[in-house]
């Protein structure tokens, strides 16, 4: 079968690229060996949010006395949580399939293998059939990093050690969970399990949690997690995994964090094995495919979007990359800008940020000032959050008095940050932004308060 475009991978970048290209009149074949939606929809973004929502409802019921509400015999039922999560995922996967069908995208449910390029185009084998595409979009996604820590791989095989996939499907709760890694995945999963009553310990090699998250916000999040009962071992190196727990080194001494289950959340890497990509002669950066501002690879006609290029492993980044790649194929001028990609940690409280932090601005030699405002300036936040200590920080470029970064911790942060991104993108000075009218009462009003400080 011949097509204008072959898309290898059906995650956010892959299925959106297929949809956009097909809507523009291109014939598209999308090859995906598993369910449409990729890691995000099936084993990441969506299932974790469904489960976290259940945990938040449980916690609200347990801790609502201060709001004049009491509830007796409140219980969490893990099997029902997973059942509802599966229903949500199934509904959304069906929705993606419906979009593919509506746009006449040919979906092949099989593993794709790139055999190479001929004068006819790129040759891909899948399900014992041959597909030829004039263009090839790689959207192969990523897989969890599993380092060579003694006992770790054996633990995964036995089921004692989980990755994100298993942590989002477990129907029984362990008594003690040790999370290796204090990044976004580890924090969200730790938050869920702690909120439903599991004793959780996080072991992180760095001296702070949440990776590149703004330093002050990272500290506030750490305090919030400790209030939930989560234990932290920061600046510690994991040295082994045993049936009793996780061995780690702290200031030269080896210790053990006891566990009934372990979550490996060290990070993710681009998935590029076992699909014939070596037959294309692609330029690689470790496991990731190197791309330019149009998502082109070094091989003419081949593009790479989403986690497979290793740039910013977020679903919304993949969406935008897919649009840029398809636009380039269609001859529409477009380039990828990575400077304003929002990031969110969907914990309780939520964390969200976009643009520069004080640290990143200093590294670039930018002269900035930081404006920090308590979320308690918002009447709605104060009304809804008991003893909240959230903040909103604006990073302002002193050269032109424009906002170059916004970072928040508190309720609704994930919903507010897209407006902050547009504010940064406008490149308007503070004097102009101060004329914006914010609805009242909203949590987002804290941004307006910050603009006047």
Rounded average pLDDT per 10-residue block, the chain, 453 residues: 98 99 99 98 98 97 94 97 99 98 98 97 97 99 98 98 98 98 98 98 98 95 96 98 98 97 98 97 98 99 99 98 99 97 96 97 97 96 90 98 98 97 98 97 97 96
66 annotated as belonging to a binding site for a ligand: no
- Residue 406 to residues 13, 36, 142, 303, Cα–Cα distance (Å): 26, 33, 28, 32
CATH architecture of residue range(s) 349-452: 2-Layer Sandwich (3.30)
The pLDDT score that the predictor gives to residue 387 is: 75
**Exactly one of 60, 77, 407, 440 is catalytic; which is it?**
440
State residue 37's pLDDT score.
98
CATH of 152-266, one of 2.130.10.10, 3.60.10.10, 3.40.640.10, 3.50.50.60: 3.50.50.60
Domain ranges for the chain, please list them: 2-144+269-330, 152-266, 349-452
Reference 394, options 216, 183, 208; nearest CA is: 216
Q: Are strands 351-355 and 368-374 parallel, antiparallel or unpaired?
A: unpaired
Do domains 2-144+269-330 and 349-452 share one topology? The answer is no
Task: List b or e across 60-73, with b for residues whose CB sees 16 or more CB atoms inside 10 angstroms.
Answer: ebeeeeeeeeeeee
> 267 labelled as ligand-binding?
yes
CATH number for the domain running over 2-144+269-330? 3.50.50.60
Cα dihedral value 440, 445, 450, 453, nearest 10: 10
Give the CA angle between residues 420, 421, 427 to the nearest 5°: 95
Is 315 annotated among the ligand-binding residues?
yes
Residue 214, annotated as binding a ligand = no
Q: Known catalytic residue: 60?
A: no
Q: How many CB atoms lie within 10 A of CB 196?
A: 18
Please give the pLDDT value at position 56.
Answer: 96
Was 38 annotated as part of a binding site?
no
The answer to whether 204 is annotated as binding is yes
403 labelled ligand-binding: no
Which phi-psi region, left, alpha or beta, contains residue 435 (left: φ > 0; alpha: ψ -120 to 50)?
alpha
316 labelled ligand-binding: yes
Does the annotation list 116 as a binding residue? no
Residue 310 counted as an annotated binding residue: no
How many Å apart are CA 396 and CA 415, to the nearest integer? 22
**Listed residue (308, 315, 212) closest to 268, CA to CA:** 308
């Amino acid at each position: 079968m011949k097509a204008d475009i072959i898309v290898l991978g059906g995650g956010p970048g892959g299925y959106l690229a297929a949809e956009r290209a097909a809507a523009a009149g291109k014939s598209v074949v999308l090859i995906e060996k598993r369910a449409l939606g990729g890691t995000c929809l099936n084993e990441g973004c969506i299932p974790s949010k469904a489960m976290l929502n259940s945990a938040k409802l449980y916690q609200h019921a347990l801790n609502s006395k201060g709001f004049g509400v009491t509830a007796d015999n409140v219980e969490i039922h893990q099997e029902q949580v997973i059942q509802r999560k599966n229903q949500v995922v199934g509904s959304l996967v069906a929705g993606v399939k419906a979009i593919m069908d509506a746009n006449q995208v040919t979906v092949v449910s099989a593993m794709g293998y790139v055999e190479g390029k001929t004068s006819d185009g790129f040759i891909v084998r899948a399900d014992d059939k041959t597909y030829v595409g004039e263009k090839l979009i790689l959207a192969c996604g990523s897989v969890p990093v599993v380092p060579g820590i003694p006992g770790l791989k054996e633990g995964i095989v036995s089921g004692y050690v989980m990755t994100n996939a298993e942590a989002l499907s477990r129907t029984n709760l362990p008594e003690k969970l040790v999370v290796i890694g204090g990044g976004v995945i580890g924090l969200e999963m730790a938050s869920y399990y702690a909120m439903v009553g599991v004793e959780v310990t996080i072991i992180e090699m760095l001296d702070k949690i949440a990776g590149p998250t703004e330093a002050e916000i990272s500290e506030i999040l750490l305090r919030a997690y400790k209030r939930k009962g989560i234990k932290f071992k920061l600046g510690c190196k994991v040295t082994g995994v045993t049936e009793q727990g996780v061995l780690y080194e702290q200031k030269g001494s080896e210790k053990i964090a006891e566990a009934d289950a372990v979550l490996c959340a060290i990070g993710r890497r681009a998935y590029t094995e076992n699909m014939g990509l070596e037959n294309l002669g692609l330029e690689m950066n470790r496991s990731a495919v190197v791309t330019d501002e149009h998502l082109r690879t070094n091989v003419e006609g081949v593009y790479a979007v989403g986690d497979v290029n290793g740039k910013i492993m977020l679903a919304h980044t993949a969406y935008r990359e897919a649009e840029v790649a398809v636009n380039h194929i269609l001859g529409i001028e477009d380039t990828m800008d990575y400077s304003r990609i929002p990031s969110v940690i969907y914990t309780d409280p939520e964390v969200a940020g976009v643009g520069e932090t004080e640290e990143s601005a200093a590294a670039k030699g930018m002269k900035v000032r930081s404006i920090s405002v308590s979320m308690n300036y918002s009447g709605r936040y104060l009304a809804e959050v008991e003893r909240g200590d959230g903040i909103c920080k604006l990073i302002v470029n002193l050269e032109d008095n424009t906002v170059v970064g916004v970072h928040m911790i508190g309720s609704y942060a994930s919903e507010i940050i897209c407006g902050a991104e547009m504010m940064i993108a406008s490149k308007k000075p503070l004097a102009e932004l101060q004329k914006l009218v914010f609805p009242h009462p909203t949590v987002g009003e804290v941004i307006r308060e910050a603009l006047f400080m």
